[in-house]
Amino acid sequence: MTAIPRSIDDTIGLLSGTGYVCGRALATVVFLSLRLGRPLFLEGEAGVGKTEIAKALSTALGRRLIRLQCYEGLDAASAVYEWNYPAQMIEIRLAEASGDRDREAIANDLFSERFLVHRPLLDAMSPQPGGAPVLLIDELDRTDEPFEAFLLEALSDFQVTIPEFGTVKAPEPPIVIVTSNRTREVHDALKRRCLYHWVDYPTAERELEILHARAPEVPEQLSREVVSFVQRLRTEDLFKRPGVAETIDWARCLVALDAMALDPQTISDTLGALLKYQDDIARFQGSEAKRLLDQVKAGVEGAA
């Protein structure tokens, strides 16, 4: 277990040790959330490194990562705890067959730790050998409002109540990261409990750093061209703009094809790594790819 960073620079250094490239604005809010013990709410486009920051923090701090993946219809039974009914039934049958225990003893036994199935939120509130875990509540915008209200309560007191069992309170608040793709607005009451940061697409310089960290096998010149091309592509009116994850994927595809530099044909053939909608792909095949590439090459050479 590593201690919480002491400064913003410390935070940047800690995260970069795991290959996560963090700008000053994001590092500031991460640092403050760690220091103040407040949940961090991250919103942004797809593939810009929201989920990854929770993974990076867990690795860097040597804490367990507990992930609650949100989806429509997620309820407390899947998020907090469940009783293991089949095992409880067997226990009842065995007790009936042997007939040597009274009813109250059996009932007490049935609702004990042995039959409790831990789900992510209960796990995050339970004591952990390595210190408070990192709790990632991923893609909160996919759940519905009742679940959000329920979560609000759990995040306010860092405790969950199980009627038959009692209240489990975190000995030390977990490090909470909440992410959203903003397919809907998350309620203000929940946001108010958290520190907020909008994770934007990185600048070209930072994206190049990320590419170096995540795909060091990509040659320098190709990396520069890839980043410039993606940055240029993001300024176009697309149905879905490529994220950092797509930049990395695309660069790896190009290396697998032994491409040393971008050319219009290779771009057209590999657009599926960058763009995931047929309308976007159709637009940038052929002459459009060449037009963008000419602009990018002029820029890259101009900068060299």
Contact positions vs ligand ATP (CB under 6 A): 19-21, 44, 46-52, 179, 181, 210, 213-214, 244-245, 248
Find the shortest distance in angstroms from Cβ 209 to ligand ATP.
8
From candidates 11, 33, 51, 228, binder to Mg ion by CB under 5 A: 51
Question: Is position 247 an interface residue for Mg ion (rule: CB under 5 A)?
Answer: no
The DSSP annotation for 171-185 comes to: SS--EEEEEE--SSP
How near is the Cβ of 156 to ligand ATP at its closest, in Å? 25
Stretch that binds Mg ion, among 48-56, 88-96, 216-224, 273-281 (CB under 5 A): 48-56
Binding partner selected for residue 214 from Mg ion, ligand ATP, none, CB under the kind-specific 5 to 8 Å limit: ligand ATP
Q: Which two tokens stand for residue 218?
A: 């990509």
Give the CB-nearest residue to ligand ATP. 49
CB 41 within 8 A of CB 196: yes
What number of other Cβ atoms are within 10 A of residue 15's Cβ?
22
The distance of closest approach from Cβ of residue 60 to ligand ATP in the complex, given in angstroms and rounded to an integer, is 12
Using the 8-state DSSP alphabet, how is residue 236 labeled?
Answer: S
Instruction: Give the tokens for residue 177.
Output: 């990261």
Q: Whose CA is closest to 247, among 235, 234, 260?
A: 234
CB of 243 to ligand ATP, least distance (A): 6
Minimum CB distance to ligand ATP smaller for 44 or for 120: 44
Number of residues that bind Mg ion (CB under 5 A): 1
Nearer to ligand ATP, 44 or 133 (CB): 44
Rounded to the nearest 10°, the torsion over CA 250, 251, 257, 258 is 170
Pick 225 or 249: Cβ nearer ligand ATP: 249
Residues counted in the chain: 304
Q: What is the dihedral of CA 299, 297, 223, 246, to 10 degrees?
A: 90
Please identify the residue of the shown chain whose CB is closest to the bound Mg ion: 51
Closest approach of Cβ 280 to ligand ATP, in Å?
17
| Cβ closest to ligand ATP, residue 128 vs residue 143 | 143
Judged by beta carbon, residue 51 or residue 59, the one nearer Mg ion is: 51
In the structure encoding, which two tokens stand for residue 134, read together? 């990192």
DSSP code at position 142:
G
d(CA 187, CA 72): 16
Residue 231 contact partner, candidates Mg ion, ligand ATP, none, CB within 5 to 8 A by sort of partner: none
CB of 51 to Mg ion, least distance (A): 3
Rounded (5°) CA angle 134-138-142: 155
Give the residue carrying structure tokens 């790819």: 289
Q: Of the two residues 4 and 46, which places its CB atom closer to Mg ion in the complex?
A: 46
